[in-house]
Amino acid sequence: ETLPICRPCEEWALPVVPDRAFSIFVAPDLTFGLVGNPIEQTVCVFGQPLLDAVMSGSMAEFVVVLRCDGLPVNPPMIPFPTGQW
């Protein structure tokens, strides 16, 4: 579903974690965003501003890195507390 930007914020509160369909949330200038994959049950975070925000907030304890720059990380990695990997 595509929601027009003119709607009030409460109306476009959508889940980031995908349920049955891929979800894509991208900044208007394409500098950061999220891509949810319902098959893998993963959320890809891209763009340094959003990566920094995720890694400095309370969500950091739930982060497991599966891919970096599109390449698999084997084994999956838990970032350092500073958010640097």
CB atoms within 10 A of CB 38: 13
Q: Which is nearest to 31 in space by CA: 51, 46, 53?
A: 46
In a domain, 82, yes or no: no
In a domain, 25, yes or no: yes
In a domain, 18, yes or no: yes
Give the chain's mean pLDDT.
78
Query: What are 22-49's pLDDT values in tens digits?
Result: 889 899 999 999 999 888 888 899 999 8
| CA pair distance 38, 15, nearest whole angstrom | 12
Residues 24 and 33 sit within 8 Å (Cβ to Cβ): yes
* pTM of the complete model: 0.68
> Which two three-digit tokens encode residue 23?
């979800």
Domain coverage including residue 13: 9-77
In a domain, 2, yes or no: no
In a domain, 37, yes or no: yes
Number of domains present in the structure of the chain = 1
The DSSP 8-state label assigned to residue 21 in this structure reads S
